[in-house]
């Protein structure tokens, strides 16, 4: 039987609420599903499923804010303001799980989000607060920069071209290292304009180029070297819109960690939701014919990401071969990456 609760917590001090609870890292985590969603009114909706577990409590700032059985939904309100509101899901048996809403709300971006909080096929979970994906950081406010510093951002990987970087230079938190990893440098993308849907063609061919062309190899290796280095965390990688180049890096990392393809695709397609208002404004500002051509360029679509995976399959013996030959990650580095980013 599901349990639903709405628990105001006006008495929790901001200092206490801001301190994340740390779950146990190596115990088996019984949750098959668990999410945190921030609502527009300042409340949070928590959902979880833990088959075979009779009791679950959820804590934040050391206080219990929700209770339920092995399959429940709870609504929590009245929490003090925080950069990110963390919740720890504690089952009666097995390891606990620390989650927040995936989106990090900032003044200067609409698509800055955590790549963690996903379950692998083997039952582990990708840690949150370690790796973020984003659109360009050129419009960050001072408040944004302070927030990212408090979130522990140490390394920023900029996947954009030289022209994009010159047009909108990144703003990064004080002390963070800015690393250029131009994923499309010297890439050749050819489109037959006599065929239908040239915009779709362009996106498919671009996906292939960023996934498996020799020109992309140096940038991919630079990013994955950093992801494998625990000392570089927390990491954020980004392009201009945070959906294509960023989407391929995110999809590759989640695949390496053992996240199922359906979940990888869902994370990739989430850019359509987060960027919906921004993209609609762009399309509304141009003539219908231009909008029809431009919409495929603004979208992320399953056929785009699938084209990248198909290119990997065509050029390599499998994703493990791609990991070694294209991404430059040794077996020991992959083990270290999983140890750093997976719990359970």
Cα–Cα distance for residue pair 283/290, rounded to 1 Å: 8
Q: Which residues contact 218 (CB under 8 A, 6 or more apart)?
A: 181, 185
Confidence of residue 238 (pLDDT cuts 50, 70, 90): very high
Spell 31-67 as b/e; 16+ CB within 10 A means b: beebebebeeeebbbbebebeebeebebbbbebebbe
Total structural domains in the chain? 2
If asked whether residues 52 and 125 sit together in one domain, one would say no
If asked whether residues 209 and 256 sit together in one domain, one would say yes
Confidence of residue 157 (pLDDT cuts 50, 70, 90): very high
What is the span of the domain harbouring residue 42? 1-101
Say whether 134 sits in a helix, a strand or coil: strand
The CATH number of whichever domain residue 9 belongs to comes to: 2.60.40
In this predicted structure, which of 13-22, 34-43, 57-66, 270-279 has the lowest mean pLDDT?
A: 13-22
Question: pLDDT tens digits, residue range 264-310?
Answer: 999 999 999 999 999 999 999 999 989 988 999 999 999 999 999 99
pLDDT at 19: 41
pLDDT(70) > 90: yes
pLDDT(16) > 50: no
Q: Which residues contact 124 (CB under 8 A, 6 or more apart)?
A: 29, 258, 342, 343, 344
If asked whether residues 236 and 144 sit together in one domain, one would say yes
Cα–Cα distance for residue pair 58/254, rounded to 1 Å: 26
DSSP annotation of 78 reads -
pLDDT at 10: 33
Report the Cα–Cα distance between both ends of the chain, in Å, rounded.
26
Domain boundary among 71, 101, 131: 101
If asked whether residues 89 and 116 sit together in one domain, one would say no
Cα–Cα distance for residue pair 59/286, rounded to 1 Å: 48
Percent of the chain topping pLDDT 70 = 92
If asked whether residues 52 and 152 sit together in one domain, one would say no
If asked whether residues 276 and 182 sit together in one domain, one would say yes
pLDDT(1) > 50: no
Strands (E), 196-267: 235-238
pLDDT at 189: 82
The overall average pLDDT reported for the chain is 91
pLDDT(50) > 90: yes
């Amino acid at each position: 039987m599901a349990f639903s609760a709405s628990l105001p917590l006006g008495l929790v001090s901001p200092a206490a609420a801001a301190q994340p609870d740390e779950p146990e890292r190596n115990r088996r985590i019984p949750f098959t599903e668990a999410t945190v969603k921030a609502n527009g009114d300042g409340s949070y909706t928590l959902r979880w499923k833990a088959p075979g577990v009779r009791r679950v409590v959820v804590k934040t700032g050391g206080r219990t804010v929700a209770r339920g059985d092995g399959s429940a939904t709870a609504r929590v309100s009245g929490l003090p303001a925080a950069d990110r509101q963390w919740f720890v899901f504690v089952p009666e048996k097995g390891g606990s799980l620390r989650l927040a809403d995936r989106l990090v709300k900032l003044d200067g971006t609409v698509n800055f989000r955590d790549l963690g909080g996903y379950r692998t096929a083997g039952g582990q979970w990708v840690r949150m607060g370690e790796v973020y994906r984003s659109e360009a950081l050129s419009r960050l406010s001072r408040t944004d920069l302070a927030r990212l510093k408090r979130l522990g951002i140490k390394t920023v990987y900029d996947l954009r071209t030289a022209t994009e970087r010159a047009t909108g230079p990144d703003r990064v938190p004080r002390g963070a290292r800015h690393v250029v990893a131009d994923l499309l440098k010297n890439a050749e993308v050819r489109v037959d304009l006599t065929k239908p849907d040239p915009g779709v063609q362009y996106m498919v061919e671009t996906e292939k180029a960023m996934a498996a062309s020799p020109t992309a190899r140096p940038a991919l290796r630079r990013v994955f070297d950093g992801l494998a280095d625990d000392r570089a965390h927390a990491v954020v990688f980004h392009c201009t819109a945070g959906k294509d180049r960023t989407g391929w890096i995110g999809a590759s990392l989640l695949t390496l960690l053992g996240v199922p393809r359906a979940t990888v695709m869902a994370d990739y397609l989430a850019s359509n939701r987060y960027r919906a208002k921004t993209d609609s404004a762009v399309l509304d500002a141009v003539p219908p014919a231009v909008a029809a051509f431009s919409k495929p360029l603004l979208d992320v679509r399953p056929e785009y990401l699938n084209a990248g995976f198909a290119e990997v399959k065509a050029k390599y013996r499998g994703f493990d071969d791609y990991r070694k030959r294209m991404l430059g990650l040794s077996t020991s580095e992959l083990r270290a990456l999983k140890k750093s980013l997976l719990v359970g």
